[in-house]
Amino acid sequence: MKHFICIFTIALVLVSCKGNDKIVLRSSVGKLNKVMVVANINDWNGDIGKEIRNSFGELVAGLPQPEATLSVSQIAPNGFNSVMKASRNILIIGEGSKDEFFVKKDAYAKPQTVVYLKGKTKQRTVALFKKHEKEIIDIFLAADLKMIQNVFGQTKLDDTQFKTLQNLGISLTLHDKFRTVDDTGEFLWLRHHLTSGIAKTGSNNIILYSLPLENEETVADSIVAVRNRIGKKYIPGSDPETMHMITEEAYTPSTFDAIIDGKKAFETRGKWEVKNDFMAGPFINYTIIDKKNNRIIVFEGFTYAPSVNKRAFIFELEAIAKTMKIK
């Protein structure tokens, strides 16, 4: 009888699984902008590890403290067990029977990005990494951006509540921790109070507005002047008569070409400060050329989080900016 029940149970399980052969992956884990490198200790302590650390360790522009583009940790292949395979970003690198470079998504967990890079010799492995280093960094950063955007999408605010977004014909994926500071119909200022760790006295902020497009050739050169003018008009300090946000005068911002919603844009990273006060922090600014509507649209995120690293906060603001849709 027991034998019959056992067979019946197995048969029932098999029938219930029929037509549903998908493998359910566990959730991945890992901090933003962090990569686990699976490599032999000799490779990690040698030229391969040196190249990885130098490449991933390039400093993020505009942050007050030096912070690497990607943080790394290393584990030997024989330690790459089930627990470690749950990491969200993984680089598996070393020698192999042939030169190869490829990417797998959701190999052991979800969401997950695993980059495989093998060379016939250590020298070939280093050369192959150098060839693909920018691509590898972009792959990991893009994966983290998508992951954050998906997380924010789960608690997305109804952005039709903001007059400025409606008037400008813009939509954004904003998570529900943001609160309105100002929404005039022409200028929007949102704030997310940071509630964890030492940064709980700080905030992430978003401002958004548009200006007429007068001369496309001078847009990039006028970004600092425009943000200083907007800061004086809309972002006061504790004494509005003498204090307002400006671009930090001792630090020259860095500007790069970008694309937002298929449109030409400029990404500017730098530091802000409050004139005649001691408040300061990093900002990321996207100035977008909207030829169809003969205007420029400005999205800026800035962080105030004294005494803590700010890479992750700015990265979250970048992720939000890149969800922008323009009518």
Is 50 exceeded by the pLDDT of residue 264?
yes
Q: Are residues 174 and 29 in the same domain?
A: no
Please write down the HEC assignment for all residues of the chain: CHHHHHHHHHHHHHHHHCCCCCCCCEECECCCCEEEEECCHHHHHCHHHHHHHHHHCCECCCCCCCCECCEEEEECHHHCCCCHHHECEEEEEEECCCCEEEEEECCCEECCEEEEEEECCHHHHHHHHHHHHHHHHHHHHHHHHHHHHHHHHCCECCHHHCHHHHHHCEECCCECCCEEEEECCCEEEEEEECCCHHHHHCEEEEEEEEEECCCHHHCHHHHHHHHHHHHHHHCECCCCCCCEEEECCCCCCEEEEEEECCEEEEEEEEEEEECCCCCEEEEEEEEEEEHHHCEEEEEEEEEECCCCCCHHHHHHHHHHHCCCEEC
Residue 266 belongs to some domain of the structure: yes
Q: Tell me how far apart the alpha carbons of residues 3 and 8 are, in angstroms, rounded to a whole number.
A: 9
CB 118 within 8 Å of CB 99? yes
Q: Are residues 118 and 242 in the same domain?
A: no
Residue 130 belongs to some domain of the structure: yes
Confidence band of 9 (pLDDT split at 50, 70, 90): very low
| Phi, psi angle pair for 170, to nearest 5° | -125, 145
Q: Are residues 108 and 29 in the same domain?
A: yes
Q: What is the pLDDT of residue 25?
A: 85
Confidence band of 148 (pLDDT split at 50, 70, 90): very high
pTM of the model: 0.90
Q: Are residues 185 and 317 in the same domain?
A: yes
Is 70 exceeded by the pLDDT of residue 4?
no
Q: What is the pLDDT of residue 201?
A: 76
Q: Tell me how far apart the alpha carbons of residues 59 and 73 are, in angstroms, rounded to a whole number.
A: 17
For 266-285, the pLDDT digits (tens) are: 999 999 999 988 899 999 99
Is 50 exceeded by the pLDDT of residue 83?
yes
Amino acid at the residue 327: K
Of 290, 315, 288, 291, which is closest to residue 301 (Cα–Cα)?
Answer: 315
Q: Tell me how far apart the alpha carbons of residues 148 and 243 are, in angstroms, rounded to a whole number.
A: 34
| Phi, psi angle pair for 298, to nearest 5° | -115, 120
Q: Are residues 285 and 146 in the same domain?
A: no
Pull the structure tokens for residue 230.
Answer: 């907007």
Q: Are residues 207 and 247 in the same domain?
A: yes
Q: Are residues 322 and 255 in the same domain?
A: yes
- Domain residues for the domain of 115 are 20-153
Amino acid at the residue 281: G
Q: What is the pLDDT of residue 197?
A: 56
Point out the domain boundary residue: 104, 126, 153.
153
CATH assignment at residue 194:
3.40.1000.10
Confidence band of 200 (pLDDT split at 50, 70, 90): low
Q: Are residues 118 and 227 in the same domain?
A: no
CB 137 within 8 Å of CB 35? no
Q: Are residues 145 and 175 in the same domain?
A: no
Residue 76 belongs to some domain of the structure: yes
Query: Mean of the pLDDT values across residues 229-247?
Result: 92
**pLDDT top residue among 307 and 303:** 303
Q: What is the pLDDT of residue 260?
A: 98
Across the chain, mean pLDDT equals 91
Residue 107 belongs to some domain of the structure: yes
Query: Mean of the pLDDT values across residues 51-78?
Result: 97
Residue 14 belongs to some domain of the structure: no
CB 16 within 8 Å of CB 298? no
Point out the domain boundary residue: 83, 118, 153.
153
Residue 11 belongs to some domain of the structure: no
Is 70 exceeded by the pLDDT of residue 15?
no
Q: What is the pLDDT of residue 55?
A: 98
Q: Are residues 121 and 144 in the same domain?
A: yes
Q: Are residues 167 and 114 in the same domain?
A: no
Point out the domain boundary residue: 134, 153, 172.
153
Q: Are residues 310 and 179 in the same domain?
A: yes
Domain count of the fold of the chain: 2
Residue 2 belongs to some domain of the structure: no
Residue 8 belongs to some domain of the structure: no
Query: Mean of the pLDDT values across residues 185-207?
Result: 87
The torsion region of residue 261 among left (phi > 0), alpha (psi -120 to 50) and beta comes to: left
Is 80 exceeded by the pLDDT of residue 7?
no
Query: Mean of the pLDDT values across residues 121-144?
Result: 97
CB-neighbour burial class of residue 113 (10 A; exposed 0-12, middle 13-18, buried 19+): buried
Is 90 exceeded by the pLDDT of residue 1?
no
